[in-house]
Amino acid sequence: MIYRRPIQLDPTSRKTICPNCGKKRFVDYVYSDDKTPVASGTCGKCDRADHCGYHYPPKDYFRDHDFRCLSRRHPYLRQRVLRPTSLIPKPPTFIPKEIVFASMTNYHRNPLVRFLHTLFDSNAGQEIPGIVESTVTKYGVGTSTRYSGSSVFWQHDIYGNFRTGQIIGYDSDTGKRVKGQQNYVHSVMADRFTDFKLRQCYFGSHLLRISDKERDAKNELRRELGITEEFEPAIWLFESPKAALIADIALTWGGMQGAYLPMATFGCAGLNPKAECFLDPYDKHQALRGRTVILFPDNGKYDEWKSKADQLRPYCQEVTISSVMEEWHRPTHTSAITPTTHTIEPGDGFDDLIIRHVQAHQPIWHLLTSF
């Protein structure tokens, strides 16, 4: 069956790096129904018509990316080209927004939100009232009816769609996960979503559109002031969505909101960049394309993420990996400090290190800016 969808140039202000001139003036071709790119940073048009004019239309992109296979009847013959009308992947299933918005309440019952209040209300909350509530609202954290009000980390993509939600139960006293309290919204509601097509995205992906608009406004002002160097906020990519929330609170507390955007992969395996990922408009890695990315692996995952960083570099503007967890795991860091405060334990996440510093009234900024 032939599957066709209308395509147009992205009508929003979002732009990526032009593959020809290297400027962030490339407008992607997108599918008209859900505004996902055909191939972000590849299939599109540079809006610098007088200085660049690069244009790679969809018909040329699909022509250049046809499937190739051997003849089944005569496998010994030379390879031939099969030319389908288009190689357009079908979109994933999306969670209705009314379900999502209905969950964004009852934070007084949410153990993770209660823990964040305990952690930050006496410091950051004194300087910036409501900092915890505003952060969980911005990231779209929901409260589930399962596991006594567990957190729902909605996977809200850059185009405004909700792919699914990860349900995780936490202990309100320690902030740690509760074993056995984990599920996905599409699984819990399987009777409603009988033919669910899951394509996950990174936690916080939806904030990229807001970040891009703020960046464009700042760069416009910089150009008016004669500043040629453009401002480009970096993505802070953590494994845990809890770490992304805590990092964002730290940024706001430190007056650096907007300079970086914390996001999360939902685990070490959530970062697995391959060439085919960047040909699929629905792949979660598309959110990283053409951007500056700083990776924050959890304890013991540095080498694995270092290898993944090497795979990611050809598609990003810049990729850096933090070695803070490895540094703090060394005896030189724990010998002169109270072990219960700063010792890195097996399985610790980056958020655990930040939490121990906050609880010990120690500065945390160096943990997030040492690469």
Distances (CA, A) of 103 to 57, 83, 160: 41, 46, 17
Domain check: are 339 and 239 in the same one? yes
Q: How many CB atoms lie within 10 A of CB 43?
A: 25
Domain check: are 42 and 93 in the same one? no
Q: What is the mean predicted confidence (pLDDT) over 267-279?
A: 89
Does the pTM exceed 0.85? no
Identify the weakest region by mean pLDDT among 117-121, 335-339, 341-345.
335-339
Q: Is the pLDDT of residue 346 over 90?
A: no
What pLDDT score does 68 carry? 42
Segment 241-250, tens digit of pLDDT: 999 999 999 8
Within-domain flag for 97: yes
Number of domains in the chain: 3
Domain check: are 340 and 237 in the same one? yes
Q: What is the mean predicted confidence (pLDDT) over 168-172?
A: 95
Is there a contact between 196 and 145 (Cβ–Cβ < 8 Å)? no
Tell me the chain's radius of gyration from C-alpha atoms: 22
Q: What is the mean predicted confidence (pLDDT) over 350-363?
A: 85
Is there a contact between 251 and 307 (Cβ–Cβ < 8 Å)? no
What pLDDT score does 34 carry? 81
Q: What is the mean predicted confidence (pLDDT) over 145-165?
A: 94
Q: Is the pLDDT of residue 306 over 90?
A: yes
Domain final residue, candidates 181, 201, 221: 201
Identify the weakest region by mean pLDDT among 52-66, 268-282, 340-354.
340-354
Residue 51 structural domain = 1-64
Domain check: are 155 and 212 in the same one? no
The band of 330, judged by pLDDT with boundaries at 50, 70 and 90, is low
Within-domain flag for 96: yes
Domain check: are 231 and 344 in the same one? yes
Q: What is the mean predicted confidence (pLDDT) over 234-239?
A: 96
> Number of helices (H) and strands (E), helices first, in the chain?
14, 14
Domain final residue, candidates 184, 201, 218: 201
Who wins on pLDDT, 368 or 217? 217
The band of 300, judged by pLDDT with boundaries at 50, 70 and 90, is confident
The band of 313, judged by pLDDT with boundaries at 50, 70 and 90, is very high
Segment 56-89, tens digit of pLDDT: 888 878 877 753 433 344 333 334 444 444 456 7
Identify the weakest region by mean pLDDT among 192-201, 297-306, 347-356.
347-356
Domain check: are 126 and 246 in the same one? no
Within-domain flag for 73: no
What pLDDT score does 8 carry? 92
Within-domain flag for 280: yes
Within-domain flag for 78: no
Strand partners, 261: 235
What pLDDT score does 332 carry? 45
Q: Is the pLDDT of residue 335 over 80?
A: no
Q: What is the DSSP string of 135-165?
A: HHHHHTEEE-SSTTT-EEEEEE-TTS-EEEE
Q: Is the pLDDT of residue 225 over 50?
A: yes
Domain check: are 227 and 367 in the same one? yes
Within-domain flag for 219: yes
Q: Among residues of the chain, what percentage have pLDDT more than 90?
A: 48
Segment 182-217, tens digit of pLDDT: 999 999 999 998 889 999 999 999 999 999 999 999
Within-domain flag for 82: no
Domain check: are 250 and 164 in the same one? no
Domain check: are 222 and 344 in the same one? yes
The burial class, CB within 10 Å (0-12 / 13-18 / 19+), for 132 is buried
Please, which residues have CB within 8 angstroms of residue 144's CB and are 6 or more apart in sequence? Answer: 103, 150, 151, 152, 167
Classify 286 as helix, strand or coil.
helix
Domain final residue, candidates 201, 235, 258: 201
Who wins on pLDDT, 212 or 49? 212
Ranges assigned E (strand) in the chain: 7-9, 26-31, 44-46, 55-56, 68-69, 80-81, 141-143, 151-156, 162-170, 177-184, 234-238, 260-264, 292-296, 318-321
Within-domain flag for 169: yes
Who wins on pLDDT, 164 or 257? 164
Domain check: are 265 and 353 in the same one? yes
The band of 152, judged by pLDDT with boundaries at 50, 70 and 90, is very high
What pLDDT score does 341 carry? 46
Domain check: are 18 and 146 in the same one? no
Segment 99-146, tens digit of pLDDT: 999 999 999 999 999 999 999 988 887 888 899 999 999 999 999 999
Per the listing, tokens 């909700």 go with: 162
Separation between Cα atoms, residue 105 and residue 339, nearest integer Å: 38
Domain check: are 249 and 267 in the same one? yes
